[in-house]
Structure 1
């Protein structure tokens, strides 16, 4: 039973009703040639719900709120992805949604014990290094994808969870500064993290994938802030001001010397260049306007003909077919998952830092995708976590979802029962 009075059966029923309502809309308003298509989708979605809810009963936790919200969001995305253009069944997205659930449990188990992570922190540094090297060696000419023939992998997506993880390690080292020259004292781990951040920035620049830079920058900023705020970190105001000025200078230089295609996106007037750089954003805005509040109906949209309709501009695709209210509901579900983890009392400062880092990733990616689709910022091509199509992104975000769960779904060890001494026994 939950502290707010909701039984496990009651909260799972709310999740089921959400999916049943969306599936009912598919049957009534959807565009499909054969009734078998929405039936198959319904069986897959509701079947996954029931199976996962049964599995959760065997997991010993003090709360299942995060898990219920997570499966609700994932199956919502399966329904959305199965309806773009015509109602069917997005098998690939469904498989990766199941994989994301598994990755969530893996991430949860991995970071439960902060002492284990602290002890093996250099392994995670090494993993980031291996991923960076794999991008340079195996993705081709300055690309981000490794093509294995039957599947493509984007290693940069897997850098994100480990980048978040390494910022949450070595926090205690903030109190143990080493003297360098004169009165200058440093924390070695901070400089290692700064070096890793610089390598990732150079990598993204080299691979022409500058759209992901704000996400990594958000993680680094939140990570360093959490390390600065660590008890007894004792960083001077001059140092903080210097860090702020240095960060601002880097942003100004990056904008000034950005490649030509980035400059075009920064200064393009999409409505005067509807067939060029502004074409995708124009189509995305038109789709949102045509969808209105309640949408044209599942499968009745036309935005699916535009490249990246199910990834980079998925917010517009959902708005067109399901309406702006439903698109905002999907965003609200992601925010609810984040807020649920933030408002609960964290297990440790390590888990707090981990939660803040993952929240930075999810919020940054949502903001870049939605604001880019709505022409409020330059188009970046970043996906919305769990909603957009993409295997590497789903697996990576699944791991980070497990990090969020570890921060608030605590597992308490059962204390050993000790024999109670007999107070009436006489001692000699």
Structure 2
């Protein structure tokens, strides 16, 4: 394995120290009836930390930076979710966090070999269409976006995201397979991707899930940009600006002809409609102001009585109880997760496009939640990756972090050949 014992030990110590500091804050400032609640919560957090440190040693990786950031933010989320309103033990969120970790490792294993992924492109498109079809059926039959399994819910549209990222991923070699259609050289796969994107947008509109549209469009925009602007590509700047112009026109048309309730959210004054569409945002802003920089203390906020306090407006809930400073630190941890794969070049162009698409999805989704809660943009109701509750969101976010890990520690084994470790420098781009 590639783990540096000193770096591994220091990183583990830092994560443990961060979580112990949070638990100490819960003990000092938290709202709990019995100190046993804090002890049980602390034992669960530290046990998951130590178990994860042991498990990741069984995975052969070039770097473990994303692993430490993932367990840092997941157990932060578990502590947050267990303290909203009153200090307790959120078993459901702990289970989804563990599922997120398992999903992460699945994403890492499945996405390491870019050659294998490229050879299974038809299967990826087929799975994406299949999940899209399930989403449409659930919407038409149940008039809802969720599948209920006991106390847990699954949102099929969430599982389209990693498949869509893989569909958007490409290599330089793939983009050179051009065909002349009506005197224009085109790549058939690019046309297929545009059709898939249009189908996803139509299903999301039919499901009335307009909040997820910017996330899917950000994945497509970044992926398509890297398709047409790969190194040494002979692509006209005029065509690039034309594509951007077309996207802007479609966005403006969508805003103009959006349903009435969407139009109302675009123009609502939350302070004059505090019991209607401005209810959650006005309460969220009041909670952030009440929390100040250091917060009211874990479990001491009133926002836990507001609908969707633990997902759609979770940033405001954290700000109220833990302080704006701590909420921004949690957001910074997610930003660092997206920054590391972009700072460290991937070893293949295919992996590079995966990194860019995943990071775009995380940043856009996080921005929609935070800016919507703070009334800087219309309220969309999307979740913050890792911080919000929700099984589907956490599992998919974990899988996508696994995809980022795969771009940092790729496998270059050809399908059907014995595994060989890469011997090229990390900074070189391979196809």
TM-score by length of 2: 0.93
SS in 2 for 1:271: coil
For 1:351 and 1:414, locate their aligned partners in 2 and report how far apart those are by CA, in whole Å: 17
Q: 1:216-244: CA deviations, max 9, x gaps?
A: 11101000111012234422233223212
Q: 1:353-389: CA deviations, max 9, x gaps?
A: 0000000110001100000010000000010000000
Residues 1:45 and 2:15 aligned together:
no
For 2:132 and 2:83, locate their aligned partners in 1 and report how far apart those are by CA, in whole Å: 36
User: Measured at CA, do residues 54 and 175 of structure 1 come closer, stay the same or move farther in structure 2, by a change above 3 Å?
Assistant: same
Q: 1:244-293: CA deviations, max 9, x gaps?
A: 22111101110110000100000000011111111110000000000000
- In the alignment, what sits opposite 1:322? 322
- In the alignment, what sits opposite 2:94? 94
- In the alignment, what sits opposite 2:280? 280
- In the alignment, what sits opposite 1:403? 403
- In the alignment, what sits opposite 1:55? 55
- In the alignment, what sits opposite 2:181? 180
- In the alignment, what sits opposite 2:73? 73
- In the alignment, what sits opposite 2:428? none
For 2:187 and 2:25, locate their aligned partners in 1 and report how far apart those are by CA, in whole Å: 57
User: CA contact under 8 A between 1:369 and 1:383: conserved in structure 2?
Assistant: yes
Deviates more, 1:111-120 or 1:405-414: 405-414
Greater Rg over alpha carbons, structure = 1
SS in 2 for 1:272: coil
Q: How far apart are 1:186 and its partner, in Å?
A: 1.1
For 2:368 and 2:378, locate their aligned partners in 1 and report how far apart those are by CA, in whole Å: 9
Q: How far apart are 1:400 and its partner, in Å?
A: 0.3
TM-score by length of 1: 0.93
Q: How far apart are 1:176 and its partner, in Å?
A: 1.6
User: CA contact under 8 A between 1:37 and 1:88: conserved in structure 2?
Assistant: yes
Q: How far apart are 1:399 and its partner, in Å?
A: 0.7
- In the alignment, what sits opposite 1:342? 342
User: Measured at CA, do residues 253 and 323 of structure 1 come closer, stay the same or move farther in structure 2, by a change above 3 Å?
Assistant: same
User: CA contact under 8 A between 1:108 and 1:405: conserved in structure 2?
Assistant: yes
For 1:371 and 1:256, locate their aligned partners in 2 and report how far apart those are by CA, in whole Å: 21
SS in 2 for 1:362: helix
User: CA contact under 8 A between 2:211 and 2:381: conserved in structure 1?
Assistant: yes
Q: How far apart are 1:402 and its partner, in Å?
A: 0.5
For 1:96 and 1:300, locate their aligned partners in 2 and report how far apart those are by CA, in whole Å: 25
- In the alignment, what sits opposite 1:424? none
Q: How far apart are 1:58 and its partner, in Å?
A: 2.7
User: CA contact under 8 A between 1:62 and 1:411: conserved in structure 2?
Assistant: no
- In the alignment, what sits opposite 1:423? none
For 2:10 and 2:177, locate their aligned partners in 1 and report how far apart those are by CA, in whole Å: 49
Deviates more, 1:130-139 or 1:256-265: 130-139
In structure 2, stretches of 5+ residues that fail to align are 413-419, 424-431
For 1:85 and 1:343, locate their aligned partners in 2 and report how far apart those are by CA, in whole Å: 39
For 1:209 and 1:167, locate their aligned partners in 2 and report how far apart those are by CA, in whole Å: 21
User: Measured at CA, do residues 307 and 171 of structure 1 come closer, stay the same or move farther in structure 2, by a change above 3 Å?
Assistant: farther
- In the alignment, what sits opposite 2:107? 107
- In the alignment, what sits opposite 1:25? 25
- In the alignment, what sits opposite 1:376? 376
For 1:152 and 1:28, locate their aligned partners in 2 and report how far apart those are by CA, in whole Å: 35
User: CA contact under 8 A between 1:142 and 1:208: conserved in structure 2?
Assistant: no
Q: How far apart are 1:65 and its partner, in Å?
A: 1.2
User: CA contact under 8 A between 1:143 and 1:208: conserved in structure 2?
Assistant: no
User: Measured at CA, do residues 280 and 402 of structure 1 come closer, stay the same or move farther in structure 2, by a change above 3 Å?
Assistant: same
- In the alignment, what sits opposite 1:15? 15
Instruction: Report 1:9-408 matches (<5 A).
Output: 9-139=9-139, 140-169=141-170, 171-181=172-182, 183-408=183-408
Count of residue pairs brought into register by the alignment: 415
Q: How far apart are 1:170 and its partner, in Å?
A: 5.7
For 1:320 and 1:150, locate their aligned partners in 2 and report how far apart those are by CA, in whole Å: 27
Q: How far apart are 1:3 and its partner, in Å?
A: 10
For 2:154 and 2:322, locate their aligned partners in 1 and report how far apart those are by CA, in whole Å: 30
For 2:327 and 2:131, locate their aligned partners in 1 and report how far apart those are by CA, in whole Å: 34
User: Measured at CA, do residues 346 and 287 of structure 1 come closer, stay the same or move farther in structure 2, by a change above 3 Å?
Assistant: same
User: CA contact under 8 A between 1:368 and 1:380: conserved in structure 2?
Assistant: yes
